[in-house]
Amino acid sequence: MLKRRIYKLLILIIILYKSTFSFCQSDFKVMDIKYFDFSMTTDSKIDCNLFEYAGNFKTIQYTDSTKIKEFLFLTKSLKRDTAESYMPDVRAKIILRTRDGEKDIICLSNLGICFNNTPMKMNDKYLYYIKRLIKAKDKEFDF
């Protein structure tokens, strides 16, 4: 009897965990990447919320569900940064949109990442992956 209750509790925990996950891979249909040259220097820090006002950025878009799922898988591996509250001097802003218009926003620089305005631990592989996504659609992009 006790084993059965533990089994049911474990199943309930797994279901709750999956249902409260911050984003669902199948829901996102469009990924926009707005970006500047990552080596660009600025007089003031570019804030994620004000990115579009910072100058002439370029935009690429992915609608390929395979690429979006791959990106989401890597984003899921990011860890929240509880020791630091560093927000990046943004060079790229990634906007994931669902059919219903909901959005998740990832902003990054060479030194930092934030997910929906939450600082994340820096992950060089993630940064390199984003730069490769940009390079795949913008042959002039240099990283």
Whole-number pLDDT of residue 20: 43
Whole-number pLDDT of residue 21: 46
Number of neighbouring beta carbons within 10 Å of residue 41? 6
Whole-number pLDDT of residue 123: 94
| Sequence spans of domains, the chain | 23-137
Whole-number pLDDT of residue 104: 94
Whole-number pLDDT of residue 25: 44
Q: Which residues in the chain show pLDDT less than 70?
A: 1-4, 6-26
Whole-number pLDDT of residue 41: 87
Whole-number pLDDT of residue 2: 64
